[in-house]
Structure 1
């Protein structure tokens, strides 16, 4: 597996270097765990570092675990470095996300990084989700392979949320941009949210649709979180002003920051990442969504790539006889096209 990851990891590192050389670094101040977060569940499975600036969350036979921000936020930039569990991780879900589901049960908003474990020898995948005002039946999921091994060292994952834009970042490279639009309507997250990190047993869906379950022989599953950053408008629940009025100054600061601006260099890095590493897009999933979302930008060149399921459709291998026909066709009578594609 490591050999196959080297070229992609090298290209991603090169993209990071190019972006860093051409754009200002984010330089976001980080905080100690207890200055911005508190345990959410499984407190015995939450282990702070000696200096209090990093934390491990653990899933074992007894419980998963997670933590939650001490404050509600209305827009901002939220990031952390994460190192994922190794070995066999099928069924394991690690998440870094924003939500207000505990406050608005029927019309909640949510922005997710979800890391989906895999069987031994197979890579982790990461999924981003965007839900607004309870739009869970209209999930805007995208899924990607990571161009590096997230079990070897920590990488930075960030969510930018403003009144007009959502950007997901990996190591300062934007991988997804969602712009507020009339077509998206009320599905754009619009209410204050908390920030969460969790590790839990998602055996019923996380790996091959639930085909591969957690094997607790490989427990404990440990995920490391460091470089904790919460840069946004902390809401005062006693303040009578509405959220947008309370957050005018903080919103202006967020909108002027480097992480809110996608330069041409960063946009090219984002497009390159998506071309090479995106393996599922809700915009092309005709089986789940027969009517394409009005805010989707459907590209004709990608329809074949993603098929009707929204998953990347790799070319089937040709039998030896077909390979011979293909070589012979190139020599004089035209190429014999491959037939059939297989869903991943």
Structure 2
């Protein structure tokens, strides 16, 4: 998806592009799967926060956050979710910023057993989005406008009767990072990552989750 974010004072707003599956009773139920791009607005002159997360089987709490190396409000940029059976890769302008590897065999939940639908939104989250909720939306700046274009999808076909999907053979089904991709993701994470749940020892005093201890760029 190509997105141009809310310009000017965007504090309190969240612009999203994500894929999600949830049960009919609760968007955060035990069947909830989701892969998120969320863009947290800020007061004029301060950078957006790109918030990423992965939910599987109702379990999230896998946030990584970044500042971007460009102004995302002045032009369209491309945000990509690559999700196959082996890993999830988040990309910005075809530069990988995050990889979440399938480690189900080691007990780490990974979305793989149900379909996802595609969503985008622009909503008011000023109770938490900007500087922990300290900066609220200034409604004198409304309307807040984000623009989307050139959406492209390459997807497997879900068959509800068999609870499975069929895919045409293609490289994306096994796509990972080559040496150049690993170099790019190291560059992004060393210079632009501002929060990583895997480094939050206050949040995980008994030890970080299993996937944090493994190679990050499999």
The residue that corresponds to 1:180 in the other structure is: 102
Could you say if the C-alpha distance between residues 184 and 101 of structure 1 is closer, same or farther in structure 2, counting changes exceeding 3 Å? Answer: farther
The answer to whether residue 2 in structure 2 is matched with residue 81 in structure 1 is yes
The answer to whether residue 203 in structure 2 is matched with residue 288 in structure 1 is yes
Which has the larger Rg? 1
The residue that corresponds to 1:162 in the other structure is: 84
The answer to whether residue 64 in structure 2 is matched with residue 148 in structure 1 is no
The answer to whether residue 59 in structure 2 is matched with residue 135 in structure 1 is yes
- Give the alignment partner of residue 215 of structure 1, picking from 116, 138, 150: 138
Give the CA deviation at 1:257. 3.6
Q: What is the 5 A alignment of 1:1-344?
A: 80-103=1-24, 105=26, 106-107=29-30, 108-136=32-60, 139-182=61-104, 185-190=107-112, 191-237=114-160, 240-243=161-164, 246-247=165-166, 249-250=167-168, 252-253=169-170, 256-257=171-172, 260-290=175-205, 291-297=207-213
Q: Deviations over 1:8-47 (max 9, x none)?
A: xxxxxxxxxxxxxxxxxxxxxxxxxxxxxxxxxxxxxxxx
Q: Is the 8 A contact 2:84 2:172 kept in 1?
A: no
Q: Is the 8 A contact 1:183 1:295 kept in 2?
A: no
Structure 2 distance, partners of 1:167, 1:211, is 32
Give the CA deviation at 1:95. 0.6
Larger relative contact order (CA 8 Å, sep ≥ 6): 2
Q: Deviations over 1:271-312 (max 9, x none)?
A: 11111100000011122222311110389xxxxxxxxxxxxx
User: Alignment partner of 1:206: what SS?
Assistant: coil
Q: Is the 8 A contact 1:133 1:186 kept in 2?
A: no
Give the CA deviation at 1:104. 7.0
User: Alignment partner of 1:130: what SS?
Assistant: strand
Structure 2 distance, partners of 1:115, 1:259, is 28
Show structure 1 runs of 4+ deviating over 4 A: none
Give the CA deviation at 1:123. 1.1
Structure 2 distance, partners of 1:267, 1:130, is 20
Give the CA deviation at 1:183. 7.0
Structure 1 distance, partners of 2:214, 2:83, is 24
Structure 2 distance, partners of 1:298, 1:109, is 22
User: Alignment partner of 2:145: what SS?
Assistant: strand
User: Alignment partner of 1:221: what SS?
Assistant: coil
**Count of residue pairs the alignment pairs up:** 210
Structure 2 distance, partners of 1:223, 1:185, is 38
Give the CA deviation at 1:119. 1.0
Unaligned runs of 5+ in 1: 1-79, 300-344
Give the CA deviation at 1:164. 1.2
Could you say if the C-alpha distance between residues 228 and 182 of structure 1 is closer, same or farther in structure 2, counting changes exceeding 3 Å? Answer: closer
Give the CA deviation at 1:235. 2.0
